[in-house]
Amino acid sequence: MEMDMVKYLAKLAKLSFTDEELEKAVADMTDIIDLMDTIKDIDVVYDAYKDNHNVYLADLRKDEAMPSLPTEKLLANAVNQENCFVVPKVVE
Amino acid sequence: MSMDLTVKQLRDGLDSREFSAREITQSYLDRIEKIDGQLESYITVTGEKALAAADKAQQRIDAGESAPLTGIPMAIKDNICTEGVLTTCASRMLENFVPPYNATVMDRLEAQDTVLLGKVSMDEFAMGGSTQTSAFKKTKNPFDLTRVPGGSSGGSAAAVSADLCGAALGSDTGGSIRQPASFCGVTGLKPTYGRVSRYGLVAFASSFDQIGPIARSAEDCGIILNAIAGYDYHDGTASKLPVEDYTAKLGMDMKGKKIAYVSEFFGEGVDDEVRNSVLAAIDSYKAMGAQVVECSMPSLKYAIAAYYLIASAEASSNLARYDGIKYGHRSEVEGSYNDLVIASRSEGFGDEVKRRILLGNYALSSGYYDAYYGKAMGLRQRIREEYAGIFEKCDLIITPTAPSVAYGINENIHDPRKMYQADFCTVTVNIASLPAISTTCGYNADGMPIGMSIVGNMWKEADIIGAADAFEKTFVRRSAAL
């Protein structure tokens, strides 16, 4: 795998790597993709119908509001202020 | 007091007043204090809560109203949410995460007044087979402290094996209950996908993940599955099929049962001692009257790739939720929203988690999707069809749980490819959503446990528990050295 591809995947993943980590990631990913490439030897096509034809809408739960957790409990693991999550400023 | 007690024995001891719930809980806490410094199975020990829960359980026992797990001290894998109790997933990302709610399995255990001893270690986000990717406790094997306990539920298996709990819960995405159970010489059950609610299980690969028990016997696994199985409003993939009594077929009569011998599971890459031990177990079943049917699974050689592509694709999506804002590690970095998210994720996730995210993004990215993810999904269907063909002719399949016994710490962890390949005995069960149980069937020359897996058709947990129990009744299990 090329360095540019690893950088592109890291960007998609919102991960940053040092130069040394990038070198290691290229080596690891090359080895891993080589293992994944074994599936190129088999001719098989995914048939979405097989997976989806037996999903019955009647089995889904009703679309109705249910009690949820209190706001203070949900904010307890976050930096919060005035019942809101705090994020860096995103508008001028 | 010997602490090598099954759930059944603990139940009898509690109900006959041989010991109280507080006494047995305190005994486990004392033993954790004494030996877990070497073993490193627990990330969090909930001593005071455990004793309070034991006292509550005792009132129920005294009233003659015990449920099967009332007062039984258990350890819970640290990716199962426990309200008010730290749940780290063995990751810096969730180092300080205290869930505001219980996983459904925890509610069900609490409904029986089970005692939570603490949260046990695992591979970070359940990604690994050695528990050495844990950011906090790199658990050892109780049979030999220089070896790994397996993973990802290595803390659960080691804690059961070392008598640091009565039983434990783990989770299994590609073998993470069965392989550590095999390495630590205990019994682990991966239920059918949808049998146990995943609500409150920190998501890794949502179409594979399943919670299940690790215990000293197949019977114990059945008792625990009885408590945790069943439909859940909060999990749309939890099945509405009625829950059976999973202990109903204990000591199953094997006469006339057809066991599939799938040759590909016994081929290249499997250690001789493992192969011979599992074949000897199959011979034991033959002696009990079972018939062995030779079968084939041609797609097994592609299973590792199919599994890692699908699991990593799902993981890359599931782990996108960790942004440092709502919960989880938040970087101190100054800058934009994007800078904060990138820094939080880069500081919070370990190397293996990052590798899986990169692989998942690759499999799903434009230009590669059809060649990797699409093809892996096609293989998933092919593997399911091959299993269905085998179950038209057979009742059970027996395979090795892992190609080797527990290996030395640091032996494989710097070689991701080798680590992934070691999962080939277990991943197809998750790919096909099937139930499987691993139980000890022998020991190698060094005294390390060897596990075999009994795989059943969808929803046939009672059958595989029954068959495993029939073998366990003929087999002398050894205690760990620790």
- A13–B345: do the CB atoms touch at under 8 Å? yes
The per-residue DSSP string of B237-303 comes to TS--SPP--TTTTTT---TT-EEEEEGGGGSTTS-HHHHHHHHHHHHHHHHTT-EEEEE--GGGGGH
Q: What confidence tens digit (pLDDT) does each residue in A7-52 have?
A: 999 999 999 999 999 999 999 999 999 999 999 999 999 999 888 8
Q: What confidence tens digit (pLDDT) does each residue in B418-429 have?
A: 889 999 999 999
* Whether the predicted pLDDT of A58 surpasses 80: no
Q: What confidence tens digit (pLDDT) does each residue in B246-289 have?
A: 999 999 999 999 999 999 999 989 999 999 999 999 999 999 99
* Whether the predicted pLDDT of B241 surpasses 80: yes
Contacts of B163 (CB under 8 A, 6+ apart): B2, B3, B4, B5, B28, B31, B479, B480
Q: What confidence tens digit (pLDDT) does each residue in B297-317 have?
A: 999 999 999 999 999 999 999
- Which A residues in the span 33-62 are in contact with B, Cβ-Cβ below 8 Å? 33-42, 44-47, 50-51, 59-61
Closest residue in chain A to residue B300, using alpha carbons only: A39
| Contact status of A72 with chain B (Cβ, < 8 Å) | no
B301 has catalytic annotation: no
Task: Give the domains, in start order, of chain B with CATH numbers.
Answer: 7-248+462-472 (3.90.1300.10)
> Is residue A59 very low, low, confident or very high in pLDDT (cuts 50, 70, 90)?
confident
Size of interface A-B (CB pairs under 8 A): 136
Of B305, B357, B382, the CB nearest to A15: B357
What is the reported pLDDT for A57? 72
The structural domains of chain A, with segments of one domain joined by +, span: 1-61
Of A10, A31, A50, the CB nearest to B358: A10
For chain B, what is the mean pLDDT? 97
* Whether the predicted pLDDT of A60 surpasses 90: no
| Min Cα–Cα distance to chain A from B231, Å | 12
Q: What confidence tens digit (pLDDT) does each residue in B100-146 have?
A: 999 999 999 999 999 999 999 999 999 999 999 999 999 999 999 99
What is the reported pLDDT for A61? 83
What is the reported pLDDT for B114? 98
Burial of B48 (0-12, 13-18, 19+ CB in 10 A): exposed
B27 has catalytic annotation: no
- B326–A88: do the CB atoms touch at under 8 Å? no
* Whether the predicted pLDDT of B36 surpasses 80: yes
B271, B277, B282, B287: CA torsion to nearest 10:
160
For residue A85 the two structure tokens come to: 């999550």
Of B340, B363, B381, the CB nearest to A47: B381
* Whether the predicted pLDDT of B339 surpasses 90: yes
- Please report, rounded to a whole number, the percentage of residues in chain B having pLDDT higher than 90: 96
What is the reported pLDDT for B418? 85
